[in-house]
A = this chain, B = another copy of it.
């Protein structure tokens, strides 16, 4: 178990060439003759040699490591990770995944730690609109995913939240709903702001005034249960209003679960008593009764696009903003107002 790993030097000796030649062969520099390449590859195989990427990274400044910082390990971010992993295969990159747990302090520490690991680039779903100032000075390219920060000159890959929210709200309005409650995550993040905006715009287009009592923030606390409770409490509060909503739009998956939970407790049937639109599709929705109309996010694709954006940023300093369409998937949970 303890035999030392073979190095370039060992391979060179066995193949009777210099280490420079071995390195060239390894990197397909194609400056070697057919025979030499053969001999070197033979030696590599015999020794079971594999390159020490730490050394390569130190010398070349390219670690083949990509950092990913997410605020939690929700299925949504996991799906983004899958997209990133798939795309990274093309570039021979590996992904270092870190969890900021919705803490700005932790996030900024992680940026430092990953930079110290010499990652070739980073993809981050920022906690708030404050990114570590260091992120701008240093030369590690960063791409923002899901959530954007306007002030920063950084590539972004996001969903078209305004449009997605607009479509959902419009759907409810077309069904005749006039009092539509919306449950949002934390006030500080771009997704919240944009989903609120889409909602407001849809209302405006139908000349319906915005009632702040129908706009709730259920995601101010971190953790799965806190978000579920946030959705739950938002519904409870709204249904206690003198004039409660006839439809509810929950703008993320956990808020949705909490909201539905509250509705069940209140013995309100969906869609007979109240209409509902949720967020994010998951396998369990195939067996849910009723089936839920939801806004579906192309999370996997967002991951892939983030790697593309990172690649372009690295090569051409190109700062792109990619806004992926959100799809309204119509199912049983929304009807007309009672």
Query: Which residues in A have some Cβ–Cβ distance to B below 8 Å?
Result: 1-3, 5, 48, 50-55, 57-58, 63-65, 73, 75, 78-79, 81-82, 85, 92, 94-99, 112-118, 134, 136-139, 224, 228, 254, 257, 260-261, 264, 282-284, 286-289
Contacts and interface: CB of A to CB of B under 8 A. Distances in A.
A1 B139 contact: yes
A48 B134 contact: yes
Given A1-B139, A54-B54, A85-B99, A228 B283 contact: yes
Nearest to A2: B139
A262 to B, nearest CB: 10
Which 10 A-B pairs rank lowest in CB-CB distance, beginning with the nearest? Answer: A54-B57, A54-B58, A260-B287, A54-B118, A97-B97, A284-B284, A50-B116, A53-B117, A53-B116, A78-B78
A313 to B, nearest CB: 11
A210 to B, nearest CB: 29
Contact of A114 (B63, B94, B116, B117): B94
A224 to B, nearest CB: 6
Contact of A112 (B3, B50, B81, B261): B50
A139 to B, nearest CB: 6
A67 to B, nearest CB: 8
Contacts of A117: 53-54, 64-65, 94
A52 to B, nearest CB: 6
Contacts of A51: 116
A63 to B, nearest CB: 6
